[in-house]
Structure 1
Amino acid sequence: MVVRTTRIDHEVMDNGGYTAAARLRVSDAEREPTIERLKDAYAEGRLDEDEFEMRMHLAMTAGTRAELVTVVADLGRPVPEHASAREMTTDVSGEDRMLAALAHGSGMVPLIIPPLVLMLLSGKRSEYVRRQAAEAVNFQLTLLLVTIVTFGLGAVVYVVAWVAALIAAVYALGGRHFRYPWTLRAIK
Protein backbone atom coordinates (compact mmCIF):
# COMPACT_ATOMS: atom_id res chain seq x y z
CA MET A 1 0.00 0.00 0.00
CA VAL A 2 1.39 3.39 -0.98
CA VAL A 3 0.60 6.42 1.17
CA ARG A 4 0.78 9.69 -0.67
CA THR A 5 1.62 12.77 1.33
CA THR A 6 1.17 16.45 0.67
CA ARG A 7 2.62 19.39 2.54
CA ILE A 8 0.00 21.68 4.09
CA ASP A 9 0.96 24.51 6.47
CA HIS A 10 4.22 22.83 7.43
CA GLU A 11 2.41 19.62 8.43
CA VAL A 12 2.44 16.41 6.47
CA MET A 13 -1.01 15.00 5.74
CA ASP A 14 -1.49 11.42 4.65
CA ASN A 15 -4.32 10.23 2.46
CA GLY A 16 -6.37 9.51 5.62
CA GLY A 17 -6.62 13.26 6.28
CA TYR A 18 -4.56 13.38 9.48
CA THR A 19 -1.37 15.32 10.07
CA ALA A 20 1.65 13.32 11.11
CA ALA A 21 1.50 14.98 14.54
CA ALA A 22 -2.18 14.06 14.97
CA ARG A 23 -1.33 10.38 14.57
CA LEU A 24 1.20 10.43 17.42
CA ARG A 25 0.41 8.44 20.58
CA VAL A 26 -0.72 10.48 23.59
CA SER A 27 0.46 10.46 27.17
CA ASP A 28 -1.59 10.95 30.33
CA ALA A 29 -0.28 14.52 30.53
CA GLU A 30 -1.65 15.22 27.04
CA ARG A 31 -5.06 13.84 28.05
CA GLU A 32 -5.36 16.26 30.97
CA PRO A 33 -6.35 19.38 28.93
CA THR A 34 -9.05 17.37 27.15
CA ILE A 35 -10.42 16.06 30.44
CA GLU A 36 -10.41 19.59 31.90
CA ARG A 37 -12.26 20.88 28.83
CA LEU A 38 -14.89 18.15 29.21
CA LYS A 39 -15.34 19.05 32.88
CA ASP A 40 -15.76 22.71 31.93
CA ALA A 41 -18.30 21.84 29.23
CA TYR A 42 -20.27 19.70 31.70
CA ALA A 43 -20.21 22.50 34.28
CA GLU A 44 -21.35 24.98 31.61
CA GLY A 45 -24.29 22.72 30.73
CA ARG A 46 -23.04 21.90 27.23
CA LEU A 47 -23.02 18.17 27.99
CA ASP A 48 -25.54 16.04 29.85
CA GLU A 49 -24.31 13.42 32.31
CA ASP A 50 -24.45 10.46 29.91
CA GLU A 51 -22.56 12.27 27.15
CA PHE A 52 -20.03 13.58 29.66
CA GLU A 53 -19.34 10.06 30.93
CA MET A 54 -19.05 8.69 27.40
CA ARG A 55 -16.64 11.43 26.32
CA MET A 56 -14.58 11.02 29.50
CA HIS A 57 -14.24 7.33 28.68
CA LEU A 58 -13.21 8.18 25.11
CA ALA A 59 -10.64 10.71 26.35
CA MET A 60 -9.18 8.26 28.85
CA THR A 61 -8.87 5.52 26.22
CA ALA A 62 -7.75 7.73 23.31
CA GLY A 63 -4.59 6.48 21.68
CA THR A 64 -3.71 9.39 19.38
CA ARG A 65 -3.90 13.17 19.40
CA ALA A 66 -6.51 13.03 16.63
CA GLU A 67 -8.80 10.96 18.86
CA LEU A 68 -8.43 13.51 21.68
CA VAL A 69 -9.27 16.41 19.38
CA THR A 70 -12.36 14.56 18.15
CA VAL A 71 -13.71 14.21 21.71
CA VAL A 72 -13.91 18.00 22.19
CA ALA A 73 -14.13 19.21 18.59
CA ASP A 74 -17.71 20.51 18.89
CA LEU A 75 -17.13 22.24 22.24
CA GLY A 76 -14.99 25.17 21.08
CA ARG A 77 -11.55 26.03 22.49
CA PRO A 78 -9.73 23.12 20.84
CA VAL A 79 -7.06 21.21 22.68
CA PRO A 80 -3.59 22.38 21.67
CA GLU A 81 -2.07 19.86 19.31
CA HIS A 82 1.18 19.82 21.24
CA ALA A 83 -0.14 19.85 24.81
CA SER A 84 3.00 18.18 26.13
CA ALA A 85 5.05 21.20 25.03
CA ARG A 86 3.58 23.07 27.99
CA GLU A 87 4.99 20.45 30.33
CA MET A 88 8.60 21.32 29.49
CA THR A 89 9.88 24.84 29.90
CA THR A 90 13.25 25.21 28.23
CA ASP A 91 13.77 28.93 28.79
CA VAL A 92 13.71 28.74 32.59
CA SER A 93 16.94 29.78 34.29
CA GLY A 94 18.72 27.59 36.79
CA GLU A 95 17.92 30.06 39.56
CA ASP A 96 14.21 29.92 38.74
CA ARG A 97 14.29 26.13 38.74
CA MET A 98 16.00 26.14 42.13
CA LEU A 99 13.48 28.60 43.60
CA ALA A 100 10.55 26.57 42.24
CA ALA A 101 12.07 23.38 43.69
CA LEU A 102 12.51 25.18 47.02
CA ALA A 103 8.84 26.21 46.98
CA HIS A 104 7.80 22.59 46.52
CA GLY A 105 10.46 21.19 48.82
CA SER A 106 9.33 23.44 51.65
CA GLY A 107 6.27 21.19 51.75
CA MET A 108 8.39 18.75 53.71
CA VAL A 109 7.68 21.06 56.65
CA PRO A 110 3.93 21.61 56.95
CA LEU A 111 4.10 25.38 56.70
CA ILE A 112 2.46 27.51 54.06
CA ILE A 113 4.74 30.49 54.64
CA PRO A 114 7.87 29.52 52.60
CA PRO A 115 6.06 28.87 49.29
CA LEU A 116 3.86 31.91 49.87
CA VAL A 117 6.91 34.15 50.38
CA LEU A 118 8.55 32.73 47.25
CA MET A 119 5.36 33.29 45.28
CA LEU A 120 5.07 36.90 46.40
CA LEU A 121 8.74 37.88 46.06
CA SER A 122 10.28 35.79 43.28
CA GLY A 123 7.00 35.40 41.43
CA LYS A 124 7.15 39.03 40.36
CA ARG A 125 10.14 38.43 38.12
CA SER A 126 9.47 34.84 37.01
CA GLU A 127 6.13 33.41 35.89
CA TYR A 128 7.53 29.89 36.27
CA VAL A 129 8.44 30.42 39.93
CA ARG A 130 5.09 32.08 40.61
CA ARG A 131 3.09 29.22 39.07
CA GLN A 132 5.06 26.53 40.89
CA ALA A 133 4.97 28.38 44.22
CA ALA A 134 1.21 28.95 43.82
CA GLU A 135 0.77 25.22 43.22
CA ALA A 136 2.73 24.50 46.41
CA VAL A 137 0.64 27.04 48.37
CA ASN A 138 -2.58 25.46 47.09
CA PHE A 139 -1.33 22.02 48.08
CA GLN A 140 -0.43 23.23 51.59
CA LEU A 141 -3.84 24.93 51.94
CA THR A 142 -5.58 21.70 50.91
CA LEU A 143 -3.60 19.70 53.47
CA LEU A 144 -4.41 22.26 56.16
CA LEU A 145 -8.14 22.12 55.35
CA VAL A 146 -8.15 18.31 55.43
CA THR A 147 -6.42 18.37 58.81
CA ILE A 148 -8.90 20.89 60.23
CA VAL A 149 -12.00 19.17 58.85
CA THR A 150 -10.90 15.78 60.20
CA PHE A 151 -10.05 17.26 63.62
CA GLY A 152 -6.36 16.47 63.25
CA LEU A 153 -6.64 12.95 61.83
CA GLY A 154 -5.80 14.30 58.38
CA ALA A 155 -2.28 14.99 59.63
CA VAL A 156 -1.49 11.42 58.58
CA VAL A 157 -1.78 12.67 54.99
CA TYR A 158 1.35 14.75 55.55
CA VAL A 159 3.44 11.60 55.17
CA VAL A 160 2.13 11.29 51.62
CA ALA A 161 2.67 15.02 51.19
CA TRP A 162 6.39 14.58 51.80
CA VAL A 163 6.63 12.19 48.88
CA ALA A 164 4.53 14.48 46.66
CA ALA A 165 6.65 17.51 47.62
CA LEU A 166 9.84 15.63 46.79
CA ILE A 167 8.50 14.56 43.38
CA ALA A 168 7.33 18.12 42.66
CA ALA A 169 10.76 19.51 43.59
CA VAL A 170 12.44 17.10 41.18
CA TYR A 171 10.03 18.14 38.41
CA ALA A 172 10.76 21.82 39.13
CA LEU A 173 14.51 21.24 39.02
CA GLY A 174 14.03 19.72 35.59
CA GLY A 175 12.13 22.80 34.40
CA ARG A 176 8.82 20.94 34.20
CA HIS A 177 5.49 22.14 35.53
CA PHE A 178 3.99 20.03 38.31
CA ARG A 179 0.36 19.84 39.43
CA TYR A 180 -0.57 18.06 42.64
CA PRO A 181 -3.55 15.73 42.33
CA TRP A 182 -6.71 16.31 44.41
CA THR A 183 -5.76 19.86 45.27
CA LEU A 184 -8.07 22.84 45.69
CA ARG A 185 -6.66 25.60 43.52
CA ALA A 186 -7.61 28.78 45.38
CA ILE A 187 -4.62 30.70 43.98
CA LYS A 188 -4.06 30.71 40.24
Structure 2
Amino acid sequence: MSDHGQPASGAPLTREQDVQWGSLAHLGGILSFLPSLIIWLVFKDRGPFTDREAKEALNFQITLLIAMIVLNIAVGILTVVSFGILGFLGFLTWIPWAIGVVFSILAFMRTRDGAPYRYPFAFRFIR
Protein backbone atom coordinates (compact mmCIF):
# COMPACT_ATOMS: atom_id res chain seq x y z
CA MET A 1 0.00 0.00 0.00
CA SER A 2 1.12 3.52 -0.70
CA ASP A 3 1.01 6.36 1.81
CA HIS A 4 -2.40 7.46 0.51
CA GLY A 5 -4.23 4.16 1.06
CA GLN A 6 -4.09 3.22 -2.62
CA PRO A 7 -2.76 -0.19 -3.62
CA ALA A 8 0.69 -0.27 -5.14
CA SER A 9 0.77 -0.24 -8.92
CA GLY A 10 -0.23 -3.64 -10.25
CA ALA A 11 -1.45 -4.89 -6.87
CA PRO A 12 -4.76 -6.77 -6.81
CA LEU A 13 -7.77 -4.60 -6.10
CA THR A 14 -9.72 -5.03 -2.90
CA ARG A 15 -13.32 -6.20 -3.36
CA GLU A 16 -14.55 -2.62 -2.81
CA GLN A 17 -12.12 -1.20 -5.36
CA ASP A 18 -12.96 -3.96 -7.82
CA VAL A 19 -16.67 -3.14 -7.60
CA GLN A 20 -15.97 0.59 -7.78
CA TRP A 21 -13.89 0.38 -10.96
CA GLY A 22 -16.25 -2.14 -12.53
CA SER A 23 -19.24 0.14 -11.97
CA LEU A 24 -17.33 3.23 -13.15
CA ALA A 25 -16.55 1.43 -16.41
CA HIS A 26 -20.30 1.34 -17.07
CA LEU A 27 -20.91 4.93 -15.98
CA GLY A 28 -18.08 6.12 -18.23
CA GLY A 29 -20.18 4.96 -21.17
CA ILE A 30 -22.05 8.23 -20.93
CA LEU A 31 -18.98 9.85 -22.46
CA SER A 32 -18.03 7.16 -24.99
CA PHE A 33 -16.04 3.94 -25.14
CA LEU A 34 -12.77 5.48 -23.93
CA PRO A 35 -13.44 5.37 -20.15
CA SER A 36 -14.40 1.69 -20.37
CA LEU A 37 -11.37 0.92 -22.53
CA ILE A 38 -8.96 2.69 -20.20
CA ILE A 39 -10.42 1.07 -17.08
CA TRP A 40 -10.29 -2.36 -18.71
CA LEU A 41 -6.70 -1.95 -19.89
CA VAL A 42 -5.47 -0.65 -16.53
CA PHE A 43 -7.40 -2.96 -14.17
CA LYS A 44 -8.25 -6.14 -16.15
CA ASP A 45 -5.55 -8.19 -14.43
CA ARG A 46 -6.11 -6.68 -11.01
CA GLY A 47 -9.77 -7.48 -10.36
CA PRO A 48 -12.11 -10.11 -11.85
CA PHE A 49 -15.25 -8.00 -11.44
CA THR A 50 -13.64 -5.00 -13.13
CA ASP A 51 -12.34 -7.21 -15.94
CA ARG A 52 -15.78 -8.69 -16.62
CA GLU A 53 -17.80 -5.48 -16.25
CA ALA A 54 -15.38 -3.25 -18.17
CA LYS A 55 -15.43 -5.73 -21.08
CA GLU A 56 -19.23 -5.75 -21.01
CA ALA A 57 -19.36 -1.95 -20.99
CA LEU A 58 -16.73 -1.70 -23.72
CA ASN A 59 -18.57 -4.16 -25.97
CA PHE A 60 -21.78 -2.19 -25.54
CA GLN A 61 -20.09 1.12 -26.29
CA ILE A 62 -18.41 -0.28 -29.42
CA THR A 63 -21.81 -1.59 -30.57
CA LEU A 64 -23.29 1.90 -30.10
CA LEU A 65 -20.37 3.49 -31.93
CA ILE A 66 -20.99 1.23 -34.91
CA ALA A 67 -24.70 2.10 -34.82
CA MET A 68 -23.86 5.82 -34.78
CA ILE A 69 -21.52 5.48 -37.75
CA VAL A 70 -24.07 3.47 -39.75
CA LEU A 71 -26.84 5.94 -38.94
CA ASN A 72 -24.67 8.92 -39.90
CA ILE A 73 -23.82 7.33 -43.23
CA ALA A 74 -27.45 6.36 -43.91
CA VAL A 75 -28.78 9.81 -43.01
CA GLY A 76 -26.07 11.46 -45.10
CA ILE A 77 -26.92 9.35 -48.13
CA LEU A 78 -30.67 9.92 -47.70
CA THR A 79 -30.12 13.65 -47.35
CA VAL A 80 -28.02 13.84 -50.51
CA VAL A 81 -30.34 11.61 -52.54
CA SER A 82 -33.41 13.57 -51.46
CA PHE A 83 -31.68 16.92 -52.18
CA GLY A 84 -31.90 17.84 -48.50
CA ILE A 85 -35.57 17.05 -48.02
CA LEU A 86 -34.77 14.22 -45.59
CA GLY A 87 -32.14 16.21 -43.72
CA PHE A 88 -34.44 16.37 -40.72
CA LEU A 89 -33.61 12.68 -40.11
CA GLY A 90 -30.32 13.83 -38.58
CA PHE A 91 -31.94 13.61 -35.16
CA LEU A 92 -31.79 9.80 -35.54
CA THR A 93 -28.05 9.91 -35.02
CA TRP A 94 -28.63 10.93 -31.38
CA ILE A 95 -30.72 7.84 -30.58
CA PRO A 96 -27.76 5.47 -29.94
CA TRP A 97 -26.20 8.05 -27.62
CA ALA A 98 -29.46 8.42 -25.65
CA ILE A 99 -29.78 4.65 -25.39
CA GLY A 100 -26.18 4.51 -24.20
CA VAL A 101 -26.81 7.07 -21.46
CA VAL A 102 -29.88 5.22 -20.17
CA PHE A 103 -28.28 1.77 -20.15
CA SER A 104 -24.97 3.05 -18.76
CA ILE A 105 -26.78 4.54 -15.78
CA LEU A 106 -28.83 1.37 -15.27
CA ALA A 107 -25.67 -0.74 -15.44
CA PHE A 108 -23.86 1.55 -12.99
CA MET A 109 -26.72 1.38 -10.50
CA ARG A 110 -26.74 -2.41 -10.65
CA THR A 111 -22.98 -2.97 -10.52
CA ARG A 112 -22.19 -0.47 -7.78
CA ASP A 113 -23.66 -3.03 -5.37
CA GLY A 114 -21.48 -5.79 -6.79
CA ALA A 115 -24.07 -7.43 -9.03
CA PRO A 116 -23.06 -8.22 -12.60
CA TYR A 117 -24.86 -6.53 -15.49
CA ARG A 118 -25.42 -7.74 -19.03
CA TYR A 119 -26.68 -5.28 -21.62
CA PRO A 120 -29.78 -6.42 -23.52
CA PHE A 121 -27.89 -6.12 -26.83
CA ALA A 122 -24.22 -5.85 -27.70
CA PHE A 123 -21.80 -7.51 -30.03
CA ARG A 124 -19.20 -9.43 -28.02
CA PHE A 125 -16.01 -8.18 -29.67
CA ILE A 126 -13.91 -8.63 -26.54
CA ARG A 127 -14.35 -11.89 -24.65
CA apart distance, 1:133: 0.2
What residue is the counterpart of 2:24 in the other structure?
102
* Root-mean-square deviation (Å): 1.4
- TM-score (ref. length: structure 1): 0.48
The answer as to whether partners of 2:107 and 2:117 remain within 8 angstroms in 1 is yes
Which whole-Å deviations, capped at 9, do the CAs of 1:107-145 have from their partners, x for residues lacking one? Answer: 111x21111111111111111101100011101100000
Higher relative contact order (CA 8 A, sep 6+): 2
- C-alpha separation in 2, matches of 1:132 and 1:154: 26
What residue is the counterpart of 1:134 in the other structure?
55
Q: Which of structure 1's runs of 4+ aligned residues deviate more than 2 A?
A: 152-155
The answer as to whether partners of 2:110 and 2:116 remain within 8 angstroms in 1 is yes
Which has more helix, going by share of residues?
A: 2
Tell me the percent identity: 31
- C-alpha separation in 2, matches of 1:154 and 1:93: 38
What residue is the counterpart of 2:65 in the other structure?
144
- TM-score (ref. length: structure 2): 0.70
CA apart distance, 1:102: 0.7
CA apart distance, 1:176: 0.8
- C-alpha separation in 1, matches of 2:27 and 2:119: 13
Say yes or no: does 1:116 pair with 2:37: yes
- C-alpha separation in 2, matches of 1:94 and 1:163: 24
| Structure with bigger gyration radius | 1
What residue is the counterpart of 1:72 in the other structure?
none
Say yes or no: does 1:174 pair with 2:110: no
